[in-house]
Amino acid sequence: MGARVEFEGRIWQVSGLVEGRVYLAADDGATGCVLATALVSAAGFRVVGQADPETLAAEEWAALPVAARERALAWQRHIREIETGLPGGPGSGGAPRLEYDPRRFTLAEREHAKAAELAALGWRGVSRVTVQRMRLNYHRQGLLALVDGRSLRRRAGTGRADERVVAAVLEALRLCRGRRATTVKQIIERAEQIVAQRHGRGRVKLPARASMYRLVKALSDPAEPPGSPARTATGRWRASGAPPALRPAERVQVATAALGVPVVGEDGLAVAVSVTAAVDGATGCVLAAVVHDRQAVPVQLPVLLAEMAVPCVVRPGWREMLRAAHESLPGRLMGVEARLEAAAVRPVAVPETLVFDPATAAAGSWLLSVCESLGVSLEAVSARQEGRAVAETVRRLAGLFTRHAAAVAAAVAAAARPAGPGGDGPGQPPGVLGMLHLQDVLDEWITAVWHTRLQETLRHPLMPGAVLCPREMWQVLLGAAGVLPLPLGARHFAELLPARRHAVTEAGVRLGRRRYDAACLDEHRGRSCPTTDDGRWEVHHHPYDVRQVHIRLPDGELHPLAWTDSAHSLRPLDATVRQRTAQTVAARTHPAGDQPASAGEGSGAAQWHAQTEAVLRAGPLERGPGVAEVSVQGHRVSQEVPYWPVWDAKAEARQW
């Protein structure tokens, strides 16, 4: 309380925070009351006198040498100890050392003490002026200001090696990390394969074998040479479990659970999917949830951080994508306008501590740097140790949502089923949703059902008979804590997404057999990027939502690109086309394990006849009166000939 904020073009002072509502007072005597989640998600909201937090670009950080990154992180810890007395910053725990206690010594005295300490550690040319300059630069430009500019000239230890070869060796080291039987020769062979796949065989001149050996030795981690087991950073075992969370977003844990609903994959076949959710430990609110292929693990934590820390309503193009996806499916829980209002007040925050299981979620060095700049603590724990409660919550969420998704899939099948005889028969397969549709249904269900559902875990010890829902608990703890967690701005969402390099052609950007285009690419079509070595452009993409792609242009900003087929993929007619396409692909693909008999009419031949007839019967196609002889793997099967029904414009119009 007492902070000054800008809201709706005016400056207000926060006079109170009660049950999730913020009370505001203006200098001219005007007062106001607004929901806390709506306040921080409003356009133009900012805290007066507080700069917008900076996030380090993934490409820029990854391009730095490892030694330079470690040096910058070390400077960051020293600066925090000078200012707060603790290397981890305020709230990290522990007592400050005597010479860095802010209650006993001034800032200048603490800077002198730090300069003397660094000189004793062997740091050259570090005086009190140097420490002060680094501290001020850090506050102006962030973590990148702590990087020694001399380290940017060339990669340390690589000599005159081609940067494409260096990148291939680094990728080979990453792929072979943790494998005990890996040798340096195998890493070199893997790097040569990567160079050939990326740039073509013979297009990049490879160094001599002795030079490759030296390059692998220079780029490999001294603590993890090739062939050594991977190190796992795990926290100290706590027999009493994780500490309880008392504030919203104080402790957010990531867990994964399987969904029992099929989804149409990019190849037209049904794939098994899972849901990975970030659950607030104090309130039970789901701050972020993504649907992904069950085999696509570990999940990328930066994407979850972007989903939970950036409000939906401030993301570019989000409203248009929501309207298009909402109108494409029947059986909705809320109207589109109600969804827009509910999304504006959905809990969103930057977590204080992000807990994850290394088996299901991955944290790289770039994420560690981003979390350092945002003040987020990362804690890797096994679900068998401290994550059982949240893992059970996510499994319960997955079970409840599976029932709802099955009902939506049945409604889709009923809407896509052709009218007339044979269109409603018992042989009709259930409806199958696409990945984008299932993600949209999940977001709606979390807002309308999960956040308003009473949960047994949200009971006060002194009032066990009173049970709350996650949304009510969020509001209660906001008022009790008196601290409102602030989200990130719209520009941070694209920065946190994974980055790749792609060419900009006359048709736009090709990514995963999809085309993306925008008017901002007009002056850059067919040209090389002036800021990258290979001439390709930095493209940030959402790995679980193909509609969200951004490109960094020479102005340094990330601009959104539109998926050219987005309108076609989400229109109501596409449910029928997509379902029939999937059935055609499934009928063309033989089930795994089917082995037709070589000859004769024995049991093997009879089994193959039955399997073939089952494949031919799949699909909601109307049956014709004729009979045809179908030849499959040398066998002749008598089966009715399917045909496409006559297109009815009125019937199709009723689906819109």
Measured between its terminal Cα atoms, the distance across the chain in Å is 50
Contact 343, 529 (CB under 8 A): no
Spans of all domains in the chain: 4-47, 66-149, 155-231, 251-473, 599-653
- Give the confidence band of 131 by pLDDT, cuts at 50, 70, 90: very high
Q: Is the pLDDT of residue 23 over 50?
A: yes
Q: Is the pLDDT of residue 41 over 60?
A: yes
Residue type at 287? L
Secondary-structure breakdown of the chain: helix, strand, coil percentages, each rounded to the nearest 5: 40, 20, 40
pLDDT digits (tens, 9 = 90+) for 65-117: 888 888 888 898 899 899 888 887 776 677 889 999 988 999 999 999 999 99
pLDDT digits (tens, 9 = 90+) for 583-608: 676 676 655 444 443 333 333 334 43
Q: Is the pLDDT of residue 304 over 80?
A: yes
pLDDT digits (tens, 9 = 90+) for 479-508: 777 777 888 888 889 999 988 899 999 999
Residue 294 CB neighbour total at 10 angstroms: 14
What is the arithmetic mean of pLDDT over 618-627? 38
Nearest C-alpha neighbor of 525 from the set 551, 489, 544: 551
Architecture of the CATH domain 251-473: 2-Layer Sandwich (3.30)
pLDDT digits (tens, 9 = 90+) for 219-272: 877 666 776 665 544 444 444 455 667 788 888 999 999 998 878 888 777 888
Q: Kind of pairing, strands 251-258 and 353-356?
A: parallel
CA distance 200 to 195: 7
pLDDT digits (tens, 9 = 90+) for 279-297: 998 889 999 999 999 887 7
Contacts of 74 (CB under 8 A, 6+ apart): none
Residue 500 CB neighbour total at 10 angstroms: 14
- Give the confidence band of 375 by pLDDT, cuts at 50, 70, 90: confident
Looking at residue 568, what is its pLDDT? 64
What is the helix (H) or strand (E) element at residue 620, kind and residue range?
Answer: none
pLDDT digits (tens, 9 = 90+) for 403-456: 998 888 888 777 665 544 444 433 334 456 888 889 999 999 999 999 999 988
CA distance 637 to 387: 55
Cα–Cα distance list, 76 to 139, 255, 272 (Å): 10, 31, 44
What is the arithmetic mean of pLDDT over 313-336? 84
Q: Residue 434 forms beta bridges with which residues?
A: 264
Looking at residue 601, what is its pLDDT? 39
Looking at residue 172, what is its pLDDT? 87
CA distance 44 to 42: 6
- 467 φ, ψ (degrees, to nearest 5): -120, 140
CA distance 114 to 131: 8
Residue type at 161? A
- 455 φ, ψ (degrees, to nearest 5): -125, 135
Q: Is the pLDDT of residue 651 over 70?
A: no
Most confident of the ranges 20-24, 206-210, 373-377, 614-618: 206-210
